[in-house]
Amino acid sequence: MIDVVMPQMGESITEGTLTRWLKKPGEKVERDEPLFEISTDKVDTEIPSPAAGVLSEVLVQEGATVAINSVVARIGDSAGAAPVAAPAAAPPQQQAQPSVSTGPSVGVGASAAAPEARTLPAAPSAAAAGAYPAQPAPQPPPPPPAPSPQPDGSEEQGPLSPLVRKMAREYNIDLSRVKGTGAGGRITKQDVEAYMASQAAQTYAAPPQPVATSAGPYPVEPPPTQPTPGPQQPPPPMPLAEAARIRTEPMSNMRQKIAEHMVMSKRTSAHVTTVHRVDMTKIAKLREKSKAEFQARNGFSLTFLPFVTAAAAEALRSFEIFNASIDGKNIVYHRDINIGIAVALDNGLIVPVIRNADEKNVAGLQRAIVDLATRARSRQLKPDEVQGGTFSITNFGSFGSIFATPIINQPQVAILGVGAVEKVPAVVDGDAIAIRSQAHLALTFDHRITDGATADQFCQKVKSILENWSANIL
């Protein structure tokens, strides 16, 4: 018997939520075959089986949060495992069980049951053999079928993505009612959202007209002894309840973990943000000149983010304090410069890590950013790709924000925010006015480990590299 444990998913992660079992007890499983899904504040991923055999026992149910290294299941030898269909091979016992346990049903003790039990129609077997049959009926009726789980539409609609399954579980959606518009009729996230919107429209519609009874739903006075014949008019509709003006739904597991992590960071570090304006004109012209060739050579577009990442990596060599962490009363300096890039998802945020970012040029950094962002949005990141970061960058400018005050990603001590690059009038060469491409860089740092003067010097270093860019980007 082999124990299956909750794996360690990151340096600062002590627990995880088991969101879904991909195998059922009694089913065979191969080594490294996906066995269950887990969710943390950093990543949602599938966990492979540590060995081949049969899933003999499940110790943790879906939705439960457990500590790392906790045993969640056991895998046994396939040779000694009982067949899955064995529990269903005893119809007489299964039939007799409900007749003893159910009170109002016809069976042993039915004559002594409550009065309402006598109104039920007698079962054919009881009518033939009496109230207390000594022998079972020659042909007992088949046992009632066990309730089948709610269909999720996976057979009819093709394979479902983990995100669609998760939405179906969280919002109790019967996927067999959802029309798939993806390839081969596959249900997509947009299909689920459209179905939820249609259900919400029905929920918020005017309530049905109450059915009038002989006394009416709102009796004011006793009815006359000889009512006038004719159809009775229904009362006016009741106003919408106040509860219909709001909608309540549970936070996703990722959203809960992000909330816990952000609150913990604000409680741990003394956050201070300094903002610097950077002239990106030289990089903007270089990017405009090279973007067609870059696209043709690499297969993806060139953005401003790899330039900022390269400048930050170079500045971190000069200001090691921002590539450090705090351990009690000690400062831990990291030799490797591993920069985390924040990636926005449909249901949250994730920060995959570019390892040894200072050893990559602009093209290499852009390639790494595109690869990590693409795999993050398709839930294909590996656990070690979201841990080990020593510094983080968040590009809120991609959504048009000029600048913001980002929160430090613990256990790091600083995070750099990049605002949108905009063409604005600016003073150049003394008193001249010109149109320049400018952006704001916002550095949030931990005031416990350093001060504002050092933070401003770091930002000036990044600013100088960007404004005087001369490296070849191809």
Q: Would you please indicate which residues are annotated as catalytic (active-site) residues?
A: 447, 451
Strand 339-341 vs strand 391-394: parallel, antiparallel, or unpaired? Answer: parallel
The answer to whether 40 touches 65, Cβ cutoff 8 Å, is no
Please name which of 347, 439, 331, 447 lies closest in space to residue 390, comparing C-alpha atoms: 331
Please name which of 33, 43, 38, 48 lies closest in space to residue 372, comparing C-alpha atoms: 43
Tell me, letter by letter, the H, E, C secondary structure of 276-341. EEEECHHHHHHHHHHHHHHHHHHCCCCCCHHHHHHHHHHHHHHCHHHHEEEECCEEEECCCCCEEE
CA atoms within a 13 Å half-sphere pointing along the CA-CB vector of 329: 0
Task: Read off the DSSP letter of residue 260.
Answer: H
Prior bond to 406 cis, omega within 30?
Answer: no
Give dist(CA 303, CA 398) in Å, integer.
10
The answer to whether 434 touches 444, Cβ cutoff 8 Å, is no
| Residue 283 burial (10 A CB sphere; 0-12, 13-18, 19+) | buried
The answer to whether 317 touches 358, Cβ cutoff 8 Å, is yes
For residues 440-453, b (16+ Cβ closer than 10 Å) or e, as one string? bbbbbbbeebbeee
Tell me, letter by letter, the H, E, C secondary structure of 14-52. CEEEEEEECCCCCCEECCCCEEEEEECCCCEEEEECCCC
Instruction: Write the CB contacts of 12 (distance below 8 Å, at least 6 apart in sequence).
Output: 410, 411
Give me Rg for the CA atoms of the chain: 32
Write out the two tokens for 119: 């109104």
Give dist(CA 355, CA 340) in Å, integer.
8
Write out the two tokens for 385: 């790709």
Give dist(CA 253, CA 192) in Å, integer.
18
The answer to whether 140 touches 125, Cβ cutoff 8 Å, is yes
Amino acid identity, position 353: V
CA atoms within a 13 Å half-sphere pointing along the CA-CB vector of 298: 21
Task: Read off the DSSP letter of residue 269.
Answer: S
The answer to whether 39 touches 61, Cβ cutoff 8 Å, is no
